[in-house]
Amino acid sequence: MASYNRVVLIGNLTRDVELRYTPSTKMAICQNAIAVNDRRKNAAGEWVDDTTFVDVTFFGRLAEVVGQYLGKGSPIFVEGRLKLDTWEKDGQKRSKLYVIVERMQLLGRNEPSDGSRPRPAATTPSSNRVAEAPHYPIMHDEMHAPEMHSEEPLYDKEELPF
């Protein structure tokens, strides 16, 4: 059976960026959410905004760029894949569906969030530049088909601090 897992979103970050690092590999990780608005007419014929909040996770260099240039309310374009995590807490099964970002494009004017001067134009992310993440493999069990690429896992799910 064929499958395809691709998500494309344009929206605004919902909270300030908090950059974390894995304990052993020191890989940057940033978890946030994007608010995506859909404008439609209600039964009375009035325009209303319907907002969907989507959790997103950035790894490696993408996480560092998000930490340096973006903050709450920043507009962003992301492309990635859906990931479902499941766990048990207090005897209850829980799950969370989120997007692992593999490509992103900064939208609007983005300057470093630390208040420093922007980098020279040659290295500053612009609205025309798309950043791509290396492929971080999904942690599969033996029932799933292997990844399309042959990279070794860059992080161990057990070492993530969240």
What is the pLDDT at residue 1? 87
Evaluate whether residue 162 is within a structural domain. Answer: no
Assign 18 a pLDDT band (cuts: 50, 70, 90).
Answer: very high
- Does a structural domain hold residue 159? no
Residue 2 counted as domain residue? no
d(Cα 96, Cα 98) in Å, to the nearest integer? 6
- Mention every residue, 6+ apart, whose C-beta is less than 8 A from residue 41: 47, 48
**What ranges in the chain are assigned the alpha helix state H?**
60-69
* Residue 108 banded pLDDT, cuts 50, 70, 90: confident
Structure tokens at 48: 């209303």
Higher pLDDT, residue 2 or 149: 2
pLDDT in tens, 132-143: 555 444 333 333
Distance CA 82, CA 7 (A): 7
Indicate which CATH number applies to the domain containing 86: 2.40.50.140
In a domain, 104, yes or no: yes
Q: What is the pLDDT of residues 51-92, one digit of tens each?
A: 999 999 999 999 999 999 999 999 999 999 999 999 998 999
In a domain, residue 62? The reply is: yes
> For residue 49, what are the domain limits?
7-153
CA separation for the pair 155, 57 (Å, rounded):
14
Structural domain total, the chain: 1
